[in-house]
Structure 1
Amino acid sequence: MSVTDRRAALTDATGCGAELFAQVDASAFDAEAAADLSENVFGVFSLPLGAATNFTINGTDVLVPMATEEASVIAAASNAARMARPQGGFSTSSTRPLMQAQIQLINIADPHAARTRILERQSEIIDLANAVDPKLVEVGGGVTDLEVRLVEARSTTYVLVHLLVDVRDAMGANAVNTMAEAVSSAVAAIAEGDALLRILTNKADRRLARARAVFDKELLGGEEVVDNILHAYELAAADPYRAATHNKGIMNGVSAVVLATGNDTRAVEAGAHSHAVVDGRYSSLSRFEKNAAGDLVGTLEMPMPVGLVGGATKVHPAARAGLRIAEVTTAQDLGEIIVAVGLAQNLAALRVLATEGVQRGHMSLHAKNLAASVGASAEEAEIIVDRLIEEKAFRFDRAESLLAELRSGGAR
């Protein structure tokens, strides 16, 4: 489809009109508007914004906005989602949207006793924190619990107070940071020490989203392909060198949706990679098995600190458009969609690796980027792409020489 036709298809599917597409055009977010989000702004950096198709999530068809410059990501996610459709698509679930703030207490003479003193006054501390954000409490959020940990460091024992905060439909960083700062003096006085760090942790292991899907063995390519995918997964589960790339494949999809909806890619990535460490060893975030029918079953559980309110989700016009395309109503809905995309992206990568190898499909799409980067017209690009694929020469200098040959009448 042309871009115009794609916009028409999105309008038919979601009911969004022309005003939505005006939001995603680069001119809709100029440098003056961007200056409110960052510092020393002199321009705006744009990325391709596409929609992943074929996703059925909890029985509902979903179009998923994805912002990415990497060739094949959106196509791969859409293809994997197609393979899950015969078995009902993706089933998802999630925990409450709990984020944690840490208060680091130093200069504590009796850390074990200090921990007990803090826990004795737990209700008082929780009430003090919740008084900082009555609106959050009014909508059902706020501090739900308090935990105290002792961390043995090189030179001393730190007392760490964790505030567990239900942040509702926000990502939550500002809310939990404000609460931590508000109660830190009182907590330090109870512990008979001093408060130092007062900030959220991005190890958001109390805010998890899960996705599960059954991928049809015949659509995958048969029993041998299923077995090869399992071998690829098992290597990622056992070897941190492979796991790093395996999980990067998951994040190709996850980060693209997080970015397209105006959320914090760095927070989600930090939470994901910390969650991949189990008993001190970095491993696969996802799990794959074969069911009794011989189909491939994939599951993915990971932290998902995303929101629908605050930050760029409300300010950036393309982020607002992305949320409308996804038709989500809560942050938990959005988190579950993102994890489903991560699982689809992971399966797509494993299937390619277990069959034809990554270069064939990925580099074919990369050839289009090469043709564009050397300044080829649409007609010239078609010829250059065919030649690059035929020669398996996916290099800028070869694309450049082919364009020169075309314009001199030598290449056909």
Structure 2
Amino acid sequence: MNHTPVEGFSKMSKEGKIEWLVNEYLDGSENALQTLKQYWNDDVELQRLHDEFSENTLSNFYMPFGFAPNFLIDDELHCLPMAIEESSVVAAASKAAKFWISRGGFKTQVISKTKLGQVHFMFKGDKEKLEHFFIETVLAKLFIDTEAITKNMQARGGGILNLKLVDKTAEMDHYFQIHAEFDTVDSMGANFINSCLEQFAQTLKRELFASDSFTSEEKESLQIVMCILSNYTPECIVRAEVSCPVEDLEEGNVTSAEFVEKFTRAVRIAEIEPYRAATHNKGIMNGVDAVVIATGNDFRAVEACAHAYASRNGKYSSLTHVEVKDGVFRFWLDLPIALGTVGGLTSLHPLVKLALQVLGCPNAEKLMGIVAVGGLAQNFAALRSLVTTGIQQGHMKMHLMNILNQLEATEAERNYFVNFFKDKTVSHHAVIAEFCKIRGVKSVEELKKG
């Protein structure tokens, strides 16, 4: 089917946008229309709030909003809010929390909290002259010209930490940066950082054009390319860790020594093998992203930063590490992560506000630790399963309900299958075969016809 471009879509009413979408892309389906509308909130004001979070909003996209209890973090008990659609993530995190609650719990430490941004610009003049000019003339004025922007942030204990000129001409002709470091306290700080950077660019241009140190050709060669924060924050780091005596790690028929050997080997593989590290770190981010989303933070920025950090030494590697020393097992995660607990959705989305209340209304540093613990717990649970019972046993039992929902099983049938697979390994094929058997048909196709 050929579609035609639409003019003025953003200016249409919500009803008009839906009508256009359904007619143009969904064959005028009444069912599609109802699907979009059935997720609207009955509370008109609440729906208006959600509509204004993003552009061209036509409906709400629901995700499961779950909680993982029994997290002992820095000697304080927490229940972690987790927004995620993947089966077994919340269950696995909860299981890891229960395991470690009797072994000292999780410990966290914010190692540093510096956030970054750059003014990217081109300059074809004398590099040494530019560097001297930046230090002697421009640097102090960058701080002065941003005083109005930084006043409130400084009152909260944050602000601009450091500014420097970076020469990148060895990598790209005529390319320079003003590299800026910030502390944004409890806000994620994107708007604050970008506002500062734009002012830096204006100040640099104004001062260079007013200077007698540069020729007219040099002045004309200055081009501001862009002013933007970086989502790579290798100096905004939190560490989450667990530790206990090796003898406390006995796992079923697996001795503590065997468990530690297998677990350590699994982490080591993820440290040296990028193919494994990608899946290993994805599991960490299952726990991280779920808490990040539940608390109204930017999970795309968190993902980008984590994976860039995992590649910082020239090869993609594990974000978690393990050591055994003097009879003590220690497992930890160093996570670069920029979060906020004020601004954005944190003060607007009702469930985000609830999630933060459940966590005790943490500041940004405390939330960094909680989020890192979510990632560490998820990774521990996954590795624990992988080196003992195997990952599929627990995962497929959680997936069972998804299969039954696709088959539109009745409540009685759902109860039957939970009992049926109590002592069996779940597989899609096995579920389908048993379902067809109790329905008295030969295939799923027959079910659909019936």
TM tier, smaller: 0.7 to 0.9
Compared CA separation, residues 327 and 26, structure 1 to 2 (3 A): farther
How many Å separate the matches in 2 of 1:185 and 1:380?
A: 68
Compared CA separation, residues 361 and 393, structure 1 to 2 (3 A): closer
How many Å separate the matches in 1 of 2:156 and 2:362?
A: 15
The alignment partner of 2:102 has SS state of: helix
Report the Cα offset of residue 387 of structure 1: 4.5
Report the Cα offset of residue 382 of structure 1: 2.3
The alignment partner of 2:187 has SS state of: coil
TM (norm. structure 1) is: 0.86
Report the Cα offset of residue 89 of structure 1: 0.9
Residue number in structure 1 paired with 2:157: 140
Compared CA separation, residues 373 and 187, structure 1 to 2 (3 A): same
Q: 2:127 aligns with which of 111, 132, 150?
A: 111
Matched, 1:329 2:358: no
How many Å separate the matches in 2 of 1:154 and 1:303?
A: 26
Q: 1:52 aligns with which of 44, 51, 68?
A: 68
Residue number in structure 2 paired with 1:98: 114
RMSD of aligned alpha carbons:
2.4
Residue number in structure 2 paired with 1:35: 51
Further displaced range: 271-280 or 216-225: 216-225
Q: 2:178 aligns with which of 143, 146, 161?
A: 161
Q: 1:357 aligns with which of 370, 385, 390?
A: 390
- 1:143 maps to amino acid: I
Match runs of 1:71-82 below 5 Å: 71-82=87-98
Compared CA separation, residues 87 and 386, structure 1 to 2 (3 A): closer
User: Could you tell me whether the CA contact under 8 Å between 2:249 and 2:259 is conserved in 1?
Assistant: no
- 2:162 maps to amino acid: D
Matched, 1:69 2:97: no
Report the Cα offset of residue 139 of structure 1: 1.6
Residue number in structure 1 paired with 2:289: 255
Further displaced range: 41-50 or 27-36: 27-36
Further displaced range: 137-146 or 257-266: 137-146
Residue number in structure 2 paired with 1:223: 257
Report the Cα offset of residue 154 of structure 1: 5.5
The alignment partner of 1:132 has SS state of: helix
How many Å separate the matches in 2 of 1:70 and 1:286?
A: 21
User: Could you tell me whether the CA contact under 8 Å between 1:142 and 1:166 is conserved in 2?
Assistant: yes
The alignment partner of 2:108 has SS state of: strand
TM (norm. structure 2) is: 0.79
How many Å separate the matches in 1 of 2:85 and 2:77?
A: 25
Match runs of 1:206-245 below 5 Å: 206-215=235-244, 217=246, 218-219=248-249, 221=251, 222-245=256-279
- Structure 2: tracts of 5 or more residues without a match: 1-39, 209-218, 443-450
- 2:354 maps to amino acid: A
Further displaced range: 58-67 or 284-293: 284-293
Matched, 1:283 2:317: yes
Q: Alpha-carbon deviations, 1:133-155, whole Å to 9, x = none? A: 42212222211211222224665
Report the Cα offset of residue 171 of structure 1: 0.7
Q: Alpha-carbon deviations, 1:39-87, whole Å to 9, x = none? A: 1100111111111122111111111111111111111112222222233
How many Å separate the matches in 2 of 1:179 and 1:227?
A: 50
User: Could you tell me whether the CA contact under 8 Å between 2:141 and 2:203 is conserved in 1?
Assistant: no
- Structure 1: tracts of 5 or more residues without a match: 1-24
Residue number in structure 1 paired with 2:353: 320
The alignment partner of 2:153 has SS state of: helix
Aligned residues: 384
How many Å separate the matches in 2 of 1:321 and 1:68?
A: 16
Matched, 1:198 2:227: yes
Larger radius of gyration: 2
Compared CA separation, residues 316 and 26, structure 1 to 2 (3 A): same
Report the Cα offset of residue 388 of structure 1: 5.9
- 1:144 maps to amino acid: L
- 1:84 maps to amino acid: W
Report the Cα offset of residue 296 of structure 1: 2.6
Further displaced range: 381-390 or 299-308: 381-390
Q: 2:105 aligns with which of 75, 89, 99?
A: 89
Further displaced range: 381-390 or 323-332: 381-390
How many Å separate the matches in 2 of 1:75 and 1:63?
A: 13
Compared CA separation, residues 172 and 73, structure 1 to 2 (3 A): same
The alignment partner of 2:167 has SS state of: strand
Report the Cα offset of residue 373 of structure 1: 2.4
- 1:246 maps to amino acid: H
Compared CA separation, residues 212 and 393, structure 1 to 2 (3 A): closer
Residue number in structure 2 paired with 1:380: 413
The alignment partner of 1:87 has SS state of: coil
Residue number in structure 1 paired with 2:338: 305
Compared CA separation, residues 185 and 84, structure 1 to 2 (3 A): same
User: Could you tell me whether the CA contact under 8 Å between 1:30 and 1:44 is conserved in 2?
Assistant: no
The alignment partner of 1:169 has SS state of: coil
Identity percentage of aligned residues: 33
How many Å separate the matches in 2 of 1:35 and 1:238?
A: 46
- 1:368 maps to amino acid: M
The alignment partner of 1:171 has SS state of: coil
- 1:371 maps to amino acid: L
How many Å separate the matches in 1 of 2:154 and 2:123?
A: 33
User: Could you tell me whether the CA contact under 8 Å between 1:246 and 1:346 is conserved in 2?
Assistant: yes
The alignment partner of 2:140 has SS state of: helix
